[in-house]
Chain A
Amino acid sequence: MPPAIRRIRTYPFNFALRAALGAVLAGLASACTSANLQSAVALGNTGVRTATTYQQAISALSPGLDNFVEGQYMLTALDPEKYSPPTDSLLDSINKLQSALRARAALLGQLARVYSGFIALASYDASGQVTASLSALDGAIDNYAVAVGSGAPAISPTAAAAITGGSGFLATEYQKRAVLKASEAISARLQATLDLLNSENSIYAGLQDEITRGLRETALALWRHGIGAPDAILTEQIGSFGLTYSPDSYLRACATDSGAARAQCQTRFNQAIAAAIRYRASEIATLQDETMRANQTALSALLAAHKQFEKGEPLNLAAVTQQLALIRSVIDQINRARRK
């Protein structure tokens, strides 16, 4: 017996099936949805990137806090007149901050997972699945016709196309409605997430600033105590016009002077290196602040894109992607400033 017949015997076109079809058709009885599935996939992909980028920015604060604590220990040893070792109170605060930051990162990770599900829902080929199922059926019907000795086509191509097309249309409409409903559910939570992170953005920025200040002070203290080589800073300067920096040649700075002049020259040289470190720290602090604000703007623009999508308007993701590109560029600048 052809598989199609066997299946229909297993699932007769009975009341239950009619009721199921009726429910589907009733759900689709009103006007067609304007949601565009391709736009939904684009929105979902942008949502994953936005949530992940923000998550990375918040996650990066935790190791920074560890560095800050380690720096306090070193500063206490190198500059004991100013610094004190981390107290229990400070360590407790750092633990609480890291725990709170992990919770925020988990929230954004969950948001990224929701968008992955949204993409799966929007990219499922519902219409294609119906059509694929029907193409298999055609062969079964032809076999049946041969078995009963009829040379006539079992079903006219026009009728087959109408049935297939109609079912495909219904499947697509159902999918569009599901995607629209999902977008609305995400939007509501996205607004709440945006409000929360917006209210905390100055706290993240403040922490970032303190981490950078702490790293700067530790680097300067180490440099003052003869630890560390400014090779990377000097390489950038000397390499601009074809000269090559020889490793450790900063140790021969002011070698052409002698006596007091040499000591003065070395003091000025050390001060110049310290100034370069301060400049880089300031540059990094500014860039980090810019990253946090760009993350906030990207999330805000993502919410606006949801509203466009839900109204059936053409989707404009440029505002989000511009911010994501800006963040990428700022991170590259920060990395350059660190390793320069």
Chain B
Amino acid sequence: MAKNNILAEIKKVYDQLDDSFDALYAECQTDEQKRRLRSLFASARDTYFAAAAKALTDKNATVDALTKELHGVNDQVQGQLADLKNVVEVLNLCTEAVKLAASLATLAAA
């Protein structure tokens, strides 16, 4: 059974105990039975939250790795923007040089 299905089953046990608690309580003949029912309900609650926490923390390493990767992508994108600005600067310089060369040629011919 997949992990999420197991968690769903654990949740179902907790919810069913919650929903039918009053009816079950009314059926209890002794204080001990009532105490056990209350204890079962608390255990079902704690088990569900423990299972949910485990299901998420099991994937924390994946989450951390992905967050780092996205951080890397962000650096990469920032780097690309810096590169783009450098290229624009190079193009500006090249173009200035070409235009100036052309203008000097024009002036020399005048």
By a beta-carbon cutoff of 8 Å, the part of chain A in contact with chain B is: 4-5, 7-8, 11-13, 17, 20-21, 24, 72, 81-84, 87, 89-90, 92-94, 96-97, 99-101, 103-104, 106-107, 110-111, 113-114, 117-118, 120-121, 124, 126, 129-130, 133-134, 137, 141, 144-145, 148, 150-156, 159-160, 163-164, 167, 170-171, 174-175, 178, 181-182, 185-186, 189, 192-193, 196, 199-200, 202-203, 206-207, 209-210, 213, 217
Contact = CB atoms under 8 A, between A and B. Distances in A.
A178 B80 contact: yes
Interface in B15-60: 15, 18, 21-22, 25, 34, 38-39, 41-42, 45-46, 48-50, 52-57, 59-60
B90 A137 contact: no
Contact of B8 (A178, A206, A217): A206
Contacts, number: 230
Contacts of B83: 178
Interface of B: 4, 7-8, 11, 14-15, 18, 21-22, 25, 34, 38-39, 41-42, 45-46, 48-50, 52-57, 59-60, 62-64, 66-67, 69-71, 73-74, 76-78, 80-81, 83-85, 87-88, 90-103, 106-107, 110
Nearest to A111: B70
B53 A167 contact: no
A178 B66 contact: no
Contacts of A121: 77, 80-81, 84
A114 B53 contact: no
13 contacts: A13-B101, A84-B45, A100-B53, A100-B56, A100-B63, A113-B74, A114-B70, A124-B84, A153-B106, A170-B91, A200-B59, A203-B4, A210-B14
